[in-house]
Amino acid sequence: MVEPDGLRYTKLPLNNGSGAMPALGFGTLIPDLIETKNATKAALEAGFRQLDASERYRNEKEVGAALQEVFEAGKINRQDVFIATKLWNNNHRPERVRPAFEASLEKLRLDYVDLYLIHTPFAFQPGDEQDPRDATGNVIYDKEVTLLDTWRALEGLVGEGKCGAIGLSDISLEQVKEIVGAARIKPAVVHVESHPYLPQWELLDYCRKNGIVLQAFAALGHSSEPNLLDDPVITAIARRVNKTPAQVLLAWAIQRGTALLTTSKTPGRIKENFELSTLPEHAMREISEGIERRVRFNAVVETGVPGFIPRKA
């Protein structure tokens, strides 16, 4: 195996003077609560310094417990970890934003988060139910609030020392443009599914030109079929550069200028996903230009209903 290099420590500057974000990130969308805590600790101990959480994952408490144990052990400081969480669809009404934000901070046992994202642009019926449905099982949307209303409420959180930066998730280029055009504080981060089967070049180009970090989730394709880790272009490069297919995909994401999120419950894979080495230019080109297959694994962008979280019975 080739020795890892400095690629894994890449940081991306955020607009509005809100510091910089480590490109390589660990996501906490892990259904089992014990596994959430163990994996979060393992990720920090392996070297990950960017974490993604969400009130919708219903495990912020376990992420918070892991953070507290790691910070108390004294080897990693709070200010060395970039922590994000997200506002869920049932909390889009402006008066619900601050309470939801404060509740996330409390569960995460943090005084501040580095980034707060609107999880999706879809507003659901306001209330405590995260998955409101009518009698026929259809989602109940909230027509009384716009994304800009919610964005303005997020803008109100910035500058008080509890929220470093704000951003959007599961959003289209057109919607990002609308918010950028109307915002007092522009989004620092746009968080969307992205990998070689969904490279989002147009959105990435727009983000670059506007000083916005594009953060790619499902960077390994979420173990879904067709499996990116088995793609012949990726496996051939992996053999050539003496890295694993996962390491090739993560390096590609950083080298093309995105932040990324990957997730694993498996300690060996968590370590593997941190041990990255820079890919040669020709490998970057082979992935960017040679892979033509297009697959979106997560349909959350169409309805606001999470694609990777099973519906409760």
Ligand X SMILES: NC(=O)c1ccc[n+]([C@@H]2O[C@H](COP(=O)([O-])OP(=O)(O)OC[C@H]3O[C@@H](n4cnc5c(N)ncnc54)[C@H](OP(=O)(O)O)[C@@H]3O)[C@@H](O)[C@H]2O)c1
Q: Is 272 in the site for ligand X (CB under 6 A)?
A: yes
The pair of structure tokens assigned to 221 is 């394709």
176-215 residues near ligand X, rule: CB under 6 A: 191
What whole-number distance in Å separates Cα of residue 268 and Cα of residue 273? Answer: 9
Tell me whether residue 206 is one of the annotated catalytic residues. Answer: no
DSSP 3-state of 291: coil
What whole-number distance in Å separates Cα of residue 290 and Cα of residue 292? Answer: 6
Q: Are 288 and 199 in contact (CB under 8 A)?
A: yes
Burial-class residue 210 by CB neighbours within 10 Å (0-12, 13-18, 19+): middle
59-98 residues near ligand X, rule: CB under 6 A: none
Give whichever of 95 and 242 is closer to ligand X, judged by the CB atom: 242
Q: How far is the CB of 291 from ligand X (least distance, A)?
A: 16
108-137 residues near ligand X, rule: CB under 6 A: 119
Give whichever of 159 and 227 is closer to ligand X, judged by the CB atom: 227
What whole-number distance in Å separates Cα of residue 92 and Cα of residue 6? Answer: 39
| Site map (CB under 6 A) of ligand X, residues 211-240, x = contact | ------xxxxxxx-----x-----------
Q: How far is the CB of 119 from ligand X (least distance, A)?
A: 6
23-42 residues near ligand X, rule: CB under 6 A: 27-29
What whole-number distance in Å separates Cα of residue 85 and Cα of residue 113? Answer: 7
Q: Is 253 in the site for ligand X (CB under 6 A)?
A: no
The pair of structure tokens assigned to 174 is 């057109």
Q: Could you tell me which stretch among 11-19, 22-30, 92-100, 275-283 binds ligand X (CB under 6 A)?
A: 22-30
Q: How many helices (H) and strands (E) does the chain have?
A: 11, 10
Active site residues: 57
- Please report, as ranges, the residues that interact with ligand X according to CB under 6 A: 27-29, 52, 119, 169-170, 191, 217-223, 229, 246, 261-266, 269, 272-273, 298, 300, 308
